[in-house]
Structure formats: C-alpha cells, structure tokens
Structure 1
Amino acid sequence: MIVPHLLTAPTPTARLVGGMLLPPVPEAAGRARWELAMLLKELRSWYDPSDCLLMLSELVSNAVKHANFDGFWVIHVACWCDGDMFRVEVYNPGTGKPAVQSPGPDDTNGRGLLLVEASSHSWGTASTSEGTMVWFSVRLPEDS
C-alpha cells in the first residue's frame, strides 16, 4: 500500500495504518476494494469487510464521477485506527460538497451516500487545501 503524505490525524491517538493512490478511472473502485480487503485482513483476519468495501467503492466512484478537475490528479485514500475505530478518508481535488440525496424509486443514481450513512458508525465531509475529503468510520470488533 502507498501511504498518502501531508495528512493530519483525525484524532490525537489515531495511527495511520494504510493508504493508496488511485487514478481517477472507473476501475479505481475495484482496486480500492482489493487494497482495503488486504489491509483489513491484516488488521482483523476474521472480520467481514463487506460494508467497508462497499462504502469505499461508493466514495471512490463518487470522486471519479464528481471531482470535475482539469489536469492530472489522483485519488488519495488514507486508513486510520484509533482503538476499535477504523476510519477511511477519500481525497479528491474537487471543490463540491458531497451531500446525501433523496432519489426517487425510479432514479438510478443518488444512493451512494445513503449507503454510507446507513452502513457506517459515522461519516462526513471536509474541505481541504487540496480539495474535498469524504470519510467514514466503523467499529472493528475485538478478536473473536
């Protein structure tokens, strides 16, 4: 895993446990899922990472679709542990503020952040000097 640089820990006790740099292409979501699955296997080999993989896939896909940035750029992903909390941050150079949508029953888009909201312990967005960061956190259960 490549660890992005110039990051600020979300809490004073959080430790950076992994990260990645991804090209802004649709296939990046699959690569991100694979990388995160490998990291979570190292951290908690018995943990089912399905929700984390889905949420990361949504955030990376949103970055690819909505960043609207001309020129060369990459998606930065940072992963943090703080006790039993695991946090994933996705950075892109876009300046938009992601928000939960209210899609209709026939809409084919607009459910990604609803999934993140429903599946995470907490989530949020922040503007950074480099663009936008969207994050989610989950509680990792202790060893079984």
Structure 2
Amino acid sequence: MAFVMDRDPCDASPRLGWMALDPAPESVSQARRWFRKLIAPYEPACSVDDCVLLISELVTNAVLYGRSDDEWVVRVEWLRKGSSLRVEVHNPGFPASVRLRRPDADDAHGRGLFLVDSIANSWHSGPSRFGGTLVSFEMADAWP
C-alpha cells in the first residue's frame, strides 16, 4: 500500500510531493503512476518521461537493496531547487553500497545508476536524513 502526499498549493516549501511505498516490486509501477499524476499541475519543462524512468530505476534499486530488521518503506520526494527538479529516493540500505557500474551490452542488470548518470543533469548518493541511503537526481531548467 502506498501513502502519497501532494503539497498544499499555499505551502511555500520547495517540496512538491512525496510518497511512501512498500518495499515490493509493485511499488515501482505505483511510483511511476503517482509521480506522473502529482507533478503534472506544476508543468515542469523537463521530460517527465525521463523522470519517471529514473524514478523507476531508483525505486527498483531501493526495493532490491534496502535492508532492515524492522518494517520499512521506500520514500520518494520531489522538490523544486531553484529552476531544477530534484527527486530523492530513500531506503534503509547502506550508503556505501551505492555505486555506478558500467555494464557490458550483454549484462542483464546493473543499468539503473548508469541511466541516471546518463539522463539527469546531476545525481548524488549518501546517507538519508531518515537513516539508510539517499539517492537523488536533478533535472535542470524544469522551471523558468
């Protein structure tokens, strides 16, 4: 089950919305669907399709590699950072385990961060303020 929160239009916060998702494969499609629906009113100039692809990759990684002895969720947040759109994916995994791979053409896996690195203007990984891991990306010139 997903918990989704859209920003109140009267709120001056740069956070536009967020969702908490079960660490399950079906959460990947939920993340795509909800992000597309909730970002639409903000009319970003960057490619929403590219954002959805990158969210899909990062949520997949969070579901596959997140670890906790307690119940946990994958948290996705999107916010405005100047004229850029920043998307953050949080999970209880270990920040040191995030690494960019250069997969061979015949490799079946390992393209998630490669796609993020190729499409986003920038990306970052490190400790999450919720504990665990944060992986984020930015799309420049999303707004004037």
Q: Which consecutive residues of structure 1, in runs of 5 or more, have no partner in the other structure?
A: 4-12
* Matched-pair contact (CA < 8 Å) for 2:17–2:78: yes
Q: Is the 8 A contact 1:75 1:90 kept in 2?
A: yes
For the 8 Å contact 2:58–2:135, the answer to whether it is kept is yes
Deviation track 1:56-101 (CA, whole Å, cap 9, x = no partner) reads 0000000000113233100111111023200000000111431111
Residue 127 of structure 1 corresponds to 127
Match of 1:15 in 2: 14
TM-score of the two chains, using structure 1 as the length reference: 0.84
Distance 2:72 2:62 in 1: 11
Q: Is the 8 A contact 2:85 2:142 kept in 1?
A: no
- Deviation string, structure 1 residues 13-55 (Cα, Å, up to 9, x no partner): 9711100000000011111011110122111077641100000
* CA gap 1:45/1:87 in 2 versus in 1, 3 angstroms: closer
The normalised TM-score by structure 2 is 0.84
Structure 2 CA distance for partners of 1:36 and 1:140, relative to 1, 3 Å: farther
Q: Output the CA distance in 2 between the equivalents of 1:133 and 1:79.
A: 13
Q: Identity across aligned pairs (percent)?
A: 34
Is the contact between residue 44 and residue 142 of structure 2 (CA under 8 Å) also seen in structure 1? no
1:61 and 2:64 matched: no
Superposed CA RMSD in Å reads 2.1
Q: Which residue is equivalent to 1:109?
A: 109
Where structure 2 has 5 or more consecutive residues not aligned to the other structure, the ranges are 7-11
CA distances 1:107-140 after superposition (whole Å, capped 9, x unpaired): 1000110100111011010113510000001024
Aligned runs of 1:1-144 on 2, under 5 Å?
1-2=4-5, 15-44=14-43, 48-96=47-95, 97-128=97-128, 130-142=131-143
